[in-house]
Amino acid sequence: MDIIGVSVPRIDAIDKVTGRAAYVGDLEVSGMLHGKIFRSPLPHAVVRSIDTSEALKLPGVVAVLTRDDLEGLDPYYGAVVRDRPFIATDKVRYQGEPVAAVAAVDLATAEEAMELIQVEYDELPVVSDTVEALSGAGATVHETNLCNQSGYEWGDVEAAFAKADHIFEDTFTFPMVYHYSMEPHAVIADYSNQGITVWSTAQHPFLVREDLARMFGFQLHQVRVVVPYLGGGFGSKSYTKLEPLVVGLSKVAGRPVRIALTVEEAFKTIRRHAARCTVKTGVMNDGEFVARECVIHLDTGAYADNGPMVADRAAERIMGAYRWANVKITSYAVYTNSTPAGSFRSIGAPQAAWASESQVDIIAHALGLDPLEIRLKNLVAKGEEFRPGRRPLDADPATGLRLAAQAIGMSLDKEPEELESALPIKTGRGLGCNLSGVGSS
């Protein structure tokens, strides 16, 4: 325990502050070309035709990648469901989906070639709302708009609601959020018949390696993924993202290629799940929680990425850190015609925990109870099971919550006027608590 609370020097600190740190955008590979991605302007459409002939005539353009170059490849990838092609095949399902990619001797030429690509689309109806998407009344992104359903149920929720003194039901919405790493996604790929070498901003290089080997028909030992210094990720660079497209472009070009996304392009690559959480809680007059029923809609966008895992995690997090005898949670990951959603720092937790804890504050205010008191009353205690069949809790959430409350001047031992004088004017304070599993990351 002698390391906890002690400042540890970063081994990369000197390189970063002196500018010696080399990121993917700083690297040069012999014979390297520069790539740009031609993206769909439409959120949902059939791709009728792609004409790259004029782009290929432009001096300095070496190759253009389209769906016509996928023969012999498995173009699909995904962290949970392999539903996302690295280049559009029959349809585009979100605005910004890659339809073609250009490799040229310099970036300016690649950008000029983009203007010469002609694509014909048959526009399709669009669905952007998760509730509408599940209703069956609107557009269909895939064969179904339901990507995944998960949840938990125990006890008798309806009987508990019937006995509760109060029932609170609220709906909370959470927007799409982009990670905004200082370094957007960037990849250099060098394809040959003997194997693939990739320099990438990937957060999961070994998973990327497995995907590339499968998609391009190589053995694992023939694929090498190198991750130099990483300019932030926060989940946006988890799993496979840009790598297969750049490998495919290198394959058709016959030379190494680098694609470094702009921030705008990174916005069209991945985001956090937008959410709609309806939370219904039965409470007794003294603040005891007796039942909770929740329905969670997570907008996973046009492709699954890790949406099923996010849905499962959100279903657990929306229970908070509280003792529940009766629970019914249903969590949906839903396809829509929007940028795919994926990992972002504690998947599923911010959306669900914010909804859960906001309602706890609503309940406390309505019943005239202290926000700390109502939480302490309902917190799962050391030695109790958070969920039936789980290992008993070996932590002590109540002590931790009391210490956190004291640190910000909130305490059951203080009168309201003492609390007001403990902090500067107009300083907001609030409490929230949740449980998180631990393990490999």
Count of Cβ atoms closer than 10 Å to residue 345 Cβ:
13
**Do residues 359 and 399 both lie within one domain?**
yes
**Do residues 220 and 165 both lie within one domain?**
no
**Do residues 230 and 368 both lie within one domain?**
no
- DSSP character for 381? P
Residue 150's φ and ψ, nearest 5 degrees, are -145, 180
In three-state secondary structure terms, 182 is coil
Decide which of 250, 267, 284 is a domain's last residue: 267
**Do residues 169 and 184 both lie within one domain?**
no
How many structural domains does the chain have? 2
**Do residues 157 and 245 both lie within one domain?**
no
pLDDT tens over the chain, length 441 residues: 578 888 888 899 999 999 999 999 999 999 999 999 999 999 999 999 999 999 999 999 999 999 999 999 999 999 999 999 999 999 999 999 999 999 999 999 999 999 999 999 999 999 999 999 999 888 999 999 999 999 999 999 999 999 999 999 999 999 999 999 999 999 999 999 999 999 999 999 999 999 999 999 999 999 999 999 999 999 999 999 999 999 999 999 999 999 999 999 999 999 999 999 999 999 999 999 999 999 999 999 999 999 999 999 999 999 999 999 999 999 999 999 999 999 998 898 999 999 999 999 999 999 999 999 999 999 999 989 888 888 888 889 999 999 888 888 887 655 555 555 555 666 677 889 888 776 544
- Cβ 289 vs Cβ 323: under 8 Å: yes
In a domain, 435, yes or no: no
Residue 398's φ and ψ, nearest 5 degrees, are -60, -45
In this predicted structure, what is the pLDDT of residue 253?
Answer: 99
**Do residues 111 and 255 both lie within one domain?**
yes
**Do residues 80 and 229 both lie within one domain?**
yes
Strand bridging mode 223-226 / 257-260: unpaired
**Do residues 378 and 392 both lie within one domain?**
yes
Of 368, 423, 362, 435, nearest to 396 by C-alpha is 435
**Do residues 206 and 103 both lie within one domain?**
yes
Per the structure, the complete domain to which residue 319 belongs is given by: 131-177+273-422
CA 95 from centroid of its chain's CA atoms? 18
In this predicted structure, what is the pLDDT of residue 395?
Answer: 85
In a domain, 4, yes or no: no
Decide which of 267, 301, 328 is a domain's last residue: 267
- Cβ 63 vs Cβ 55: under 8 Å: no
In a domain, 1, yes or no: no
Distance between the two ends of the chain, CA-based, in angstroms? 21
In a domain, 8, yes or no: no
**Do residues 190 and 224 both lie within one domain?**
yes
In a domain, 240, yes or no: yes
**Do residues 161 and 60 both lie within one domain?**
no
Sign of CA dihedral 129, 131, 136, 141: positive
CA-only gyration radius of the chain, Å:
26
Q: Residue 66's domain is classified under what CATH number? A: 3.90.1170.50
Decide which of 217, 246, 267 is a domain's last residue: 267
In this predicted structure, what is the pLDDT of residue 438?
Answer: 64
In a domain, 438, yes or no: no
